Chain A
Amino acid sequence: MSLAVAPRADTDQRGRAEPSGPLVRLEGVTKIFANGTVALAGLDLAIGRHEFVSLLGPSGCGKSTALRLIAGLARPTSGRIRGPEGAARGAAGFVFQEPTLMPWATVFDNVWLPLRLQGIGRRQAEGPVAEALAMVGLAEFARAYPRELSGGMKMRVSIARALVTRPSLLLMDEPFAALDEITRLKLNDELLALWRAQSWTVVFVTHSVYESVYLSTRIVVMAPRPGRVVADLPIEAPWPRDEAFRTSPAYNALCRRVSAELHRAMGS
């Protein structure tokens, strides 16, 4: 389905998407905001099934904008975007930089929300919600309110909410940026374990070279003003990745390479 050209209800384009092709494809996407800011200029990006792609780049290079375009939350000024089938209704899960929970609702109700908006009642939702909470290790906290949770736990609730619709595509906008190092590393490991077990496609926005190298199968380096892709690096490090990988020379070499690309992006 083309999010850019066709409205959501356009069904005749759906059947043509070849299931073996890339899950997401951006072709010459340009985004110019109302105030004249050119956030993205001619962005080309194809994301295949089961990839873990990191968008890496300095602040203001259009990473969030690209993610919002993929999710269908914004429309490109020009260019084409093809998202996953039925992207508008739960095929893509979105994790914001902040936990973005409803403070008046319990953890259960927060995770239930995507299903509830699709007309699924509380009873029917109990199974999927419990499953999603168990995935992020918060099974016992279903009845807690967000304010009773730590920052890391809130983030995990927000991840559970993105997972509850069983999306084929997970879009994450610097989900761990506000967390402390230890929690971040722990959530990195949990995310990787889930990704490997469930074989999703993940697009992960981050500022951190180290985080992106640890997590990704591929790193897309972006440069600002105007936002564009300057490097596309496959990360062919072995699996599983764990503490030992983080201290290995291979990891360090990869980090140096990505860092150099990033510096080139910012210099040019």
Chain B
Amino acid sequence: MASALEPATTSLPAAAAPAERAPGDDRLARILAPALIAVLVVAGWEAIVRLNEIPHYILPGPSLVARELVESWPILWPSLLITVKIAGLALLAAVVGGVGLALLCSISKWIELSLFPYAVVLQVTPVVSIAPLILIYVDEPLTAVVLCAWIVAFFPILSNTMLGLASADHNLRDLFELYGASRWQQLLLLRLPTALPYFLGGLRIAGGLALIGAVVAEYVAGTAGTGTGLAFRVLEAQYRLNIPRMFAGLLLLALTGVAIYLLFGALSHLLLHRWHESALRREP
């Protein structure tokens, strides 16, 4: 399930592994190994908190965090939905804008030359430092926060899609030319399919970044923002020294990030498993 962007070294251990393992083993290990780590960490954490009698406003034990999560669920869940909505809108805008601009750049060198540097500027400027400005200039709080998240999520999609569109096999391009393919046919039948794995790799990065962008924007916005997102709840809990709820909120954010990653991993697998190297299961 390695994306096109992950370092190639990740496939080496798999290639060197003994050949007689059943395919099911791998899937089991993929779930069991992290689960074991989680159990160890949670147990150790609980033990340290209890043995040292650490007060809950400094470090709450996992059992307390779990109880808080359940108890404040009616507050956290709607907030989570708002944060997910912000990240989702930002990602949608990033896909539309990123793919659209990548297509424009692939059509005209001039568009690429004149616009791409600004995309880079947008990417390298820390969102924390632009967010306050955006919040000043954009009146509607939801739009402002979505805009912040969009800025972080946009670039990986743009740059990956551009790379993908330019990566078509040279011999295949010759073949298309030989048979007199139009630009439109080249785009539809050659460039877009070539770009798909690159785009999906970018999407997986952008998914996580959109969530991070949404959280950062909410933090910066504070009460000036939408005022109800999950990041705002975490901030609010911090002000009130409700540390267990802070932990519960952070846990929920982390799980959401993982869920987004898995979702796009699954999408990528669904679209690529018939043909792309990254999604092929290696025969044992």
Does B bind A?
A: yes
**A117/B179 in contact, CB under 8 A:** yes
In the assembled complex, the CB of B274 is this many whole angstroms from the nearest CB of chain A, namely 6
Known contacts being A117-B185, A147-B280, is A100 close to B179, with CB within 8 Å?
Answer: no
Q: Are A100 and B172 in contact (CB under 8 A)?
A: yes
CB-nearest residue of chain A to B196: A104
Check B284 for interface membership: any CB of A closer than 8 A: no
Known: A96-B171, A98-B171, A102-B190. A89 touches B275 (CB 8 A): no
B181 interface contact, C-beta 8 A: yes
Which secondary structure dominates where chain A touches chain B? loop
Query: Which residues in window 188-236 of B have CB below 8 A to A?
Result: 189-190, 193, 196
* Cβ–Cβ < 8 Å partners of B171 in chain A: 96, 98, 100
Given contacts A113-B189, A147-B280, contact A104 B177 (CB under 8 A): no
Chain A's closest residue to B193 (CB) is A104
Given contacts A104-B193, A147-B280, contact A117 B172 (CB under 8 A): no
CB-based nearest B residue for A87: B178
Query: Which B residues are CB-close (under 8 A) to A103?
Result: 275-276
| A145 in the interface (beta carbon within 8 A) | yes
Considering the chains assembled together, what is the distance between the CA atoms of A94 and B173 in angstroms? Answer: 13
Complex Cα–Cα for A96 and B174 (A): 10
Bound together, the chains give a CA A239 to CA B196 distance in angstroms of 50
Q: Are the C-beta atoms of A118 and B178 separated by less than 8 Å?
A: no
B267 at the interface (CB under 8 A from A): no
In the complex, the chain A residue whose C-beta lies closest to that of B197 is A104
If A94-B175, A117-B180 are given as contacts, then 20 extra A-B residue pairs at C-beta distance below 8 Å, sorted by A number, are A68-B174, A73-B178, A88-B180, A89-B179, A90-B179, A92-B178, A94-B178, A96-B171, A100-B171, A102-B189, A102-B190, A104-B275, A104-B276, A105-B193, A113-B179, A116-B189, A117-B179, A118-B179, A145-B274, A145-B275
Ranked 10 nearest A-B pairs via Cβ: A100-B171, A117-B179, A104-B193, A103-B275, A117-B181, A89-B180, A96-B171, A104-B275, A114-B179, A73-B174
B residues bordering A, Cβ < 8 Å? Answer: 169, 171-172, 174-181, 185, 189-190, 193, 196, 274-276, 280
Interface residue ranges, A against B (CB under 8 Å) = 8, 68, 71-73, 88-90, 92, 94, 96, 98, 100, 102-105, 113-114, 116-118, 145-147, 165
Pull 16 A–B residue pairs with CB atoms less than 8 Å apart, ordered by A: A71-B178, A73-B178, A89-B179, A89-B180, A94-B175, A96-B171, A98-B171, A100-B169, A102-B190, A113-B179, A117-B179, A117-B185, A117-B189, A145-B274, A145-B275, A147-B280
